[in-house]
Amino acid sequence: MDGEVTAEQARRILDMLTEGGAMDHINTPLALRLIPLAIELEDEPLAERLLTHAKSNATDEIETGWAEFEHLKLTGASIDLFAELTAQSELLEGGDHLAAAVAHHVALMHMAKEAFEEAQMFASRSLRIREHIKDNNGIVYGLALLEALAKKQHNHETALVHGSRRIELLMDMRDEEGQMEAMADMGHSQATLGQFDAAKDLYTQSLDLAVGLEDLSGQLVARWGLADIAEIEEDYETAMLQLSDCLHAFINAGLPTPIAVRQRIEALTEFKKSPDDK
């Protein structure tokens, strides 16, 4: 098994830590970590209780800031309030991790509104803080965000710069799952620029990692990209092979196959049957 906690197990854990007077014995960091679990279980009252407990038991300004960050997320606060919390956190001694996290969140909010310049500003701000404190995991998240922003603005050359640095860092960290995702992302940028050989190499490396990790989602992304390139190059046999292998991977795992894969196989089959009509 992959170690994931089932809903029933999560419920038991939450009940053990929060029922009766048990919540009195958990600190602010633990309470904040339990909130997403309560939300996932659709237990909003418990999430609110945990937040109240976290805020009232915060031992310093940093814990208070993390609790306020969670409060703003739970209440769907405005971007301005998150931006204000970013600025306040930067003034706190030891508040770098908090400031970086909030700035990253603000960037995501701006990106969702397609305010790309503002998103770029906060994403870069978050990345600078994470570089200063040598938070490698945070740097990876920041580079992934900047890469996504560059793609949304059709600046694929810049996306490649961020993607290359992201892959190098993930290799240093020996994070194979991260490499798998980053290589597929960079493969997409290379393909968009018409650099098909480089794109195929990246997608293939991503696929090899996905197979080794038994990650079906990763295999789907890589094979889909390889099939795209094959179709562009009018190599329909290779495209069909990639899609068929993807289909069989899901079947062998006993999981439903993605509808999009089946539809694409059917469309490609029809295309091959009557090319003169296309």
CATH code of the domain covering residue 132 = 1.25.40.10
Whether residue 185 is contained in a domain is answered as no
Tens digit of pLDDT for each residue in 112-155? 999 999 999 999 999 999 999 999 999 999 999 999 999 999 99
Q: Are 126 and 100 in contact (CB under 8 A)?
A: yes
Q: How far is CA 121 from CA 104, 110, 125, 143, 160, in A?
A: 10, 10, 6, 13, 19
The per-residue pLDDT for 2 is 45
Looking at 107, 139, 174, which one is the last position of a domain?
174
Say yes or no to pLDDT of 71 above 80.
yes
Q: Is residue 165 part of a domain?
A: yes
Q: pTM value? A: 0.89
pLDDT at position 4 over 70: no
User: How many degrees, rounded to 5, is the angle at CA 5 between CA 138 and CA 259?
Assistant: 85
Residue that terminates a domain, selected from 174, 198, 219: 174
Residue 118 covered by a domain: yes
Same-domain pairing of 83 and 49: no
Please identify, among 140, 174, 208, the residue that sits at the C-terminal boundary of a domain.
174
Higher pLDDT, 61 or 25: 61
d(CA 153, CA 239): 29
Q: Which domain holds residue 33?
A: 1-77
Residue/partner pairs of 84-93 with CB below 8 Å, 24 or more apart: 86/122, 86/125, 89/65, 90/129, 92/61, 92/62, 92/65
Using CA atoms, how far apart are residues 88 and 95, in angstroms rounded to an integer? Answer: 9
Report how many domains make up the chain.
2
With residues binned 3-state (H G I as helix, E B as strand, rest as coil), the percentages for the chain, rounded to 5, are 80, 0, 20
Q: Please indicate, yes or no, if residue 258 is contained in any of the structural domains.
A: no
